[in-house]
Chains A and B, each alone.
Chain A
């Protein structure tokens, strides 16, 4: 396993734990509580920021360790990593399409969508983007085997 793959596994683990934690809050409290419960909103905001910080910290620490160990990133690694944004783009597009279809179908008769879903769409787009930075790296390495 290359250092880039190890880094991708760490990123994937952070992304999955982060997603599950956010999903758990919305399941336990209920999505509609987001509008009324200031405590829940604060928890969700903090969790979102904590996830981003944890991911950035992981990138910084693993990058520092790779530089210290003199890990080389050669032309094949760069070629593999160049494919990752494609996976990220498709993952985000499918996520947004999923939200658009689901919200349109569920709230079609009401003619309006609760505000909480704008936040959930934003959270999910960012999380999917980050998760697929890691998952995309693993997929690209797997396909290059």
Chain B
């Protein structure tokens, strides 16, 4: 199985929810604003718990927020 990459639509969903700020989302899910920034920049993959909390904050499913893209071995990004 190839190495995959987790992407997310947090930034898009924040804007779709009345331009929710990163701080507002962080407070809603109980994490720091730095973690939201790292998530949006794709530099951090959250735990399952945090992923569910973020999805719940937007009223959507986890799959609507996070996507897993599998890469074939040997392919370049």
- Taking a contact as CB atoms under 8 Å apart, the answer to whether B38 and A76 are in contact is yes
For chain A, what secondary structure do more than half of its interface residues adopt (helix, strand, loop), or is it mixed? Answer: loop
- Taking a contact as CB atoms under 8 Å apart, the answer to whether B34 and A76 are in contact is yes
- Taking a contact as CB atoms under 8 Å apart, the answer to whether B32 and A2 are in contact is yes
- Taking a contact as CB atoms under 8 Å apart, the answer to whether B46 and A75 are in contact is yes
A side interface size, CB within 8 A: 8
**Chain B contacts of A76 at CB under 8 A?**
31-32, 34-35, 38, 44
* A75-B50, A76-B35, A76-B38 known; A144+B30 contact, CB < 8 A: no
B47 closest partner in A (C-beta): A75
Taking the complex as formed, is B43 at the interface, i.e. its CB lies under 8 A from any CB of chain A? yes
Which chain A residues numbered 8 to 65 have a C-beta less than 8 Å away from chain B?
none
Rounded to whole Å, the gap between the CB of B12 and the closest CB of chain A is 21
In the bound complex, what is the Cα–Cα distance between A74 and B50 (angstroms)? 10
Per-residue interface assignment for chain B, residues 16 to 39, with 1 indicating a CB less than 8 Å from any chain A CB and 0 otherwise: 000000000010001110110010
Rounded to whole Å, the gap between the CB of B40 and the closest CB of chain A is 13
**Chain A contacts of B26 at CB under 8 A?**
72
- Taking a contact as CB atoms under 8 Å apart, the answer to whether B43 and A72 are in contact is no
- Taking a contact as CB atoms under 8 Å apart, the answer to whether A74 and B43 are in contact is no
> 6 tightest CB-CB pairs across the interface, nearest first?
A74-B31, A76-B35, A74-B32, A75-B47, A74-B35, A72-B32
11 examples of A-B residue contacts, CB within 8 angstroms: A72-B26, A75-B47, A75-B50, A76-B31, A76-B32, A76-B34, A76-B44, A77-B35, A144-B38, A144-B43, A145-B43
B interface, CB within 8 angstroms of A: 26, 30-32, 34-35, 38, 43-44, 46-47, 49-50
A interface, CB within 8 angstroms of B: 2, 72, 74-77, 144-145
